[in-house]
Structure 1
Amino acid sequence: MCEIFCFNSNTPKQINKCLECFYNHSEEHPHGWGLATMQSDEFVINKEPIKATCSQHLKNILSNPVVGKNVFAHIRLATVGEIISPNCHPFIEADDNNRSWMLIHNGTIFDYPELDKYKDKENGDTDSERILLYIIDHINQFEKSKNAPSTIKERFNLLSNIIEDLSKNNKLNLMIYDGDLTYIHSNMKDTLFYLKNEDGFLIASTPLDDDENWKVVELNKLFGLIDGEIVFESDEHDNEFIFTEEHEKAMEEFLKHSVRWEND
């Protein structure tokens, strides 16, 4: 699968050391890397379909200070979709009210037919990009019905319902950002951790250092963060994802094909 990373704070901080530790995990996640930062209320996204430790572009980025309040990173172990740039995370899409949404995903959608209709609309061919398009459609429908932009709380409640439904029979570790709120969700044990300190929140698929204060993100809940603080927390749902032998066989079969694509 993949690994995901988020930094959320009330003031811009330099986080090169954390990112370097995160991207060093790419030996086991070699199919692409991505980095998203907010600058002047706009997303700046860099990504490539190559191993992070082999990317000269990423080395150039990390040779300068990476500073921000909201920073997201991803390294890909492909399970759905070819190893091409449009399939690298983060994904970004605007809703009908011109709000930009960003999503990164660690997991796989095994069972959710409603996403299939987005196969002809997405730029790549990943289930992750389809999740974002599905969310955007629901946001647009809600705001059209309301005849006004949604509030932060309304968006959180809407995503809580969407993500609970999506998480049935699917691994859904997500980080989403809508320009105001950072959404965090995990539904598989010991696959997402956080560290809260004076700098803000660090959230990653595995702890990035030996700090004993890293904790597991609470399972089966959606959290909303602003300025380094949890401002919303959903009720707990029942859709914990358990990785089975059938899932493992499906992953192994896909990885055989991905090696072939890399060697073509």
Structure 2
Amino acid sequence: MCEIFCFNSNTPKQVNECLECFYNHSEEHPHGWGLATMQSDEFVIRKEPIKATCSQYLRDILSNPVVGKNVFAHIRLATVGEIISPNCHPFIEADDNNRSWMLIHNGTIFDFPELDKYRDVENGDTDSERILLYIIDKVNEFEKAKNAPSTIKERFNLLTEVITDLSRNNKLNLMFYDGDLTYIHSNMRDSLYYLKNDEEFLVASTPLTDDENWKSVELNKLFGLIDGSIIFESEEHENEFILTEEHERAMEELLKAISRDEIND
């Protein structure tokens, strides 16, 4: 699987120390790294298909202050897709109303045939990129039927339904951002944690500091964050993901296939 990171605050703050701790986990997640920050209301995406601790590019980035209100990071352990730059998270795409969406994912889609149609149009070949394309299509459909842009609340309600459907039989730890809301979802126990104070949220696959106030993200709910506060919280769905031997065998086969591709290259 992968690890994911999100910082959401009411004022821009430097997050280098947390990012350095996060990227140090790449020994177990060696197949790529990514970083997304907002600058002048636009995403700046930087990523590479190499281990984070081996990246001179990342060292150069972290040698300067990384400051923002919305910062997202990812380290990849590939289960679906080759080890190439287009398969590194974050993914970014625009909807029909020119709103940019960004997504990072920790998990695997085992059963959701509706994503298959995106195989021919995505830039890479990951299930995670297909999730983003599917989300955007659902937003486009809603706004076309409404004949107007959606409100923040309408998007949250729509995405609650979409994520509930996607989470059935799939591990779906997600962080995504639509320029207004940061969305957080987890459906596997002990796989996503948060640290909260009056000004900011820090969310990561494992606690990044010694602070005793880290807590598990509540399962099977979608949360919408703005400026370090939860603005929206969905009802709880019933699609907790429990890893089985069948899932483990499937992921082992996927990893073997990726290793064979690396050797052949």
TM-score range, shorter chain: over 0.9
**Superposed displacement of residue 262, structure 1:** 3.3
Q: Which secondary structure state, in structure 2, belongs to the residue aligned with residue 108 of structure 1?
A: coil
Cα distance in 1 for partners of 2:262, 2:194 equals 33
Q: Which secondary structure state, in structure 2, belongs to the residue aligned with residue 36 of structure 1?
A: strand
1:81 aligns with 2:66: no
Cα distance in 2 for partners of 1:199, 1:166 equals 31
Cα distance in 2 for partners of 1:234, 1:197 equals 21
The answer to whether the 8 Å contact 1:6/1:73 transfers is: yes
**Superposed displacement of residue 66, structure 1:** 0.1
Normalised by the length of structure 1, the TM-score is 0.99
User: What whole-Å deviation, never above 9, does each CA across 1:23-77 have from its counterpart, x for those lacking one?
Assistant: 0000000000000000000000000000000000000000000000000000000
User: What whole-Å deviation, never above 9, does each CA across 1:225-246 have from its counterpart, x for those lacking one?
Assistant: 0000000000000000010001
Cα distance in 1 for partners of 2:237, 2:231 equals 19
**Superposed displacement of residue 253, structure 1:** 1.6
Cα distance in 1 for partners of 2:97, 2:255 equals 39
Q: Which runs of 5+ in 2 are unaligned?
A: none
Which segment is superposed worse, 205-214 or 248-257? 248-257
Q: Which secondary structure state, in structure 1, belongs to the residue aligned with residue 26 of structure 2?
A: helix
Return the letter of the residue paired with 2:140. Answer: N
Q: Which secondary structure state, in structure 2, belongs to the residue aligned with residue 5 of structure 1?
A: strand
Q: Which secondary structure state, in structure 2, belongs to the residue aligned with residue 150 of structure 1?
A: coil
Cα distance in 2 for partners of 1:75, 1:199 equals 26
**Superposed displacement of residue 259, structure 1:** 2.5
The answer to whether the 8 Å contact 1:13/1:199 transfers is: no
Cα distance in 1 for partners of 2:36, 2:50 equals 17
Q: Which secondary structure state, in structure 1, belongs to the residue aligned with residue 172 of structure 2?
A: strand
* Alignment match, 2:218: 218
* Alignment match, 1:190: 190
Cα distance in 2 for partners of 1:262, 1:31 equals 11
The two structures, once aligned, show a CA RMSD in angstroms of 0.8
Q: Percent identity?
A: 85
Cα distance in 1 for partners of 2:154, 2:180 equals 13
Return the letter of the residue paired with 2:87. Answer: N
Cα distance in 2 for partners of 1:25, 1:245 equals 25
User: What whole-Å deviation, never above 9, does each CA across 1:183-207 have from its counterpart, x for those lacking one?
Assistant: 0000000000000024400000000
